[in-house]
Structure 1
């Protein structure tokens, strides 16, 4: 595929529930259209931000379907198909292929501590189930496995491997992965280091806070790509202040994000247990976070002018 389609800002798509906690077609499509109209390059669907490990197979298929119906052919769609078993992952991969997704991606196997031979086999079986290109998802802080250069080199023997979504915190990991294969697409994962990730070699980013403030990440990308590093550093500082505020409340960060989105005119419900909703006095802080986002957007729109 044209790898330029994978360079830029890719929000990690949120789980969209109705008022009783079931997957909502209308709310999923509303979030799709909202993000598309903001100008993002594409979406990463069904990953951590989509609460994938708390959903059954049919629920995950429903979200993949609703997103594809909204945006297939309009922007680049990456389907995260990692699941507890290889069988389920392959089912999701085949379904995403049927729906017209552009790329597949998956975390390594979870729960059991497996040897690299098992991880290699897991990813390879997913890749072999379709003709779609594949992006490795490296997120050691939640899976317990950190992608080794040895396994990466072995996986790259399969031409379907075109990239890595790298969510490990050391920004040096991005540089090391690019050193193995310069043409490998590497996405910065930790939102708090988007600018540094881009400067050390990332081609773009996939992030869990992008969709609550897409304007700021789009401007951060603009500043980096045009060499305006002073404003790139400044906007990253303001983004980090917002992320810290989102994580400071009692309840899941995703619950806080969804409450902020409600104030921005997008209601996608709450979160699914065991993730906890923001409640009580912390709800009063949601408006302050929205104001932080609005103020930062206003500030950097002025800079652009």
Structure 2
């Protein structure tokens, strides 16, 4: 079935820059291959973790291309194509289709507060621009719009709409969306802090911004959920949450902290795109402590069957 390839752990790919701040083909492909070797199901390319809102159209197309060159056919690839204008979103959607992506996704329109009719038209124009499956991206804490059940059901009337990446915090939303679409759709858990809860309430997998710095832990959490090991699933989620709290405790963007940790692991992805802030000063020393916490937690759970 077409939906099976969208079930599982999907890291949201980080933006990879060279030392001058330009999109790096080498570093993008290196990260994609690293995550492939870890055993993830697919990648979500060009979303929040990819700093898409701070990149121009050509930069976003470059990232889509490099990720495709690295792992197309080996991993399921979903392209996030949400952009400030419908026109740009459709350009990205068609380009992703040309590259052989497996699916598309988009946040609702940003900046202006628009009626649901405008949001419906925006998503529908993107969907109609290709033959690819489409996944709504609901992230109200950054877009200011919370996907209503009424609009979700209306979108599901379009057979190319195959689900939702739900990043709202209430787990109830996952249950409601899954109940509305049933086995005919995919619901991705968005908030990394509730991966296990989301899965138990009906999510078919997850897409997350911290997966890339600790894929082993989310893959292990998925293993516990799938096998019915709920005590271990709750426990590993608690350890994951300790790490996420640490990742967000420093000055600067969480993604800059993650990139510094990956650099210590031997993978230089560059820094973050301004106005996101990098890590500096004493916080650089704290990054080492967070890396050690991640490494020790991975080692701890590696031994648990």
**Counterpart secondary structure, 1:16:** coil
- 2:279 paired with 1:270: no
**Counterpart secondary structure, 1:245:** helix
Q: Superposed, which structure 2 residues align to 1:126-205 within 5 Å?
A: 126-183=126-183, 184-205=185-206
Q: TM-score, normalised by structure 1?
A: 0.99
Measured in 1, the distance between the counterparts of 2:194 and 2:258 equals 19
Measured in 2, the distance between the counterparts of 1:266 and 1:233 equals 30
- Listed one character per residue, the Cα deviations across residues 79-113 of structure 1 (whole Å, up to 9, x for unaligned) are 00000000000000000000000000000000000
- Listed one character per residue, the Cα deviations across residues 108-158 of structure 1 (whole Å, up to 9, x for unaligned) are 000000000000000000000000010000000000001111111111110
**Runs of 4+, deviation exceeding 6 Å:** none
Measured in 2, the distance between the counterparts of 1:149 and 1:250 equals 37
Equivalent position of 1:97 in the other structure = 97
Equivalent position of 2:81 in the other structure = 81
Measured in 1, the distance between the counterparts of 2:232 and 2:37 equals 24
Q: Between Structure 1 and Structure 2, how many residues are aligned?
A: 304
* Deviation of the 1:70 alpha carbon: 0.7
Q: Superposed, which structure 2 residues align to 1:1-305 within 5 Å?
A: 2-183=2-183, 184-304=185-305
Measured in 1, the distance between the counterparts of 2:178 and 2:247 equals 31
Measured in 1, the distance between the counterparts of 2:255 and 2:114 equals 29
Measured in 1, the distance between the counterparts of 2:282 and 2:98 equals 46
**Counterpart secondary structure, 1:280:** coil
TM-align CA RMSD: 0.6
Measured in 1, the distance between the counterparts of 2:288 and 2:99 equals 38
**Counterpart secondary structure, 1:61:** helix
* Deviation of the 1:240 alpha carbon: 0.4
The unaligned stretches of length 5 or more in structure 2 are: none
Measured in 1, the distance between the counterparts of 2:139 and 2:111 equals 13
Measured in 1, the distance between the counterparts of 2:153 and 2:32 equals 35
Measured in 2, the distance between the counterparts of 1:239 and 1:50 equals 21
**Counterpart secondary structure, 1:10:** strand
- Listed one character per residue, the Cα deviations across residues 14-36 of structure 1 (whole Å, up to 9, x for unaligned) are 00000111000000000010000
* Deviation of the 1:197 alpha carbon: 0.4
* Deviation of the 1:75 alpha carbon: 1.0
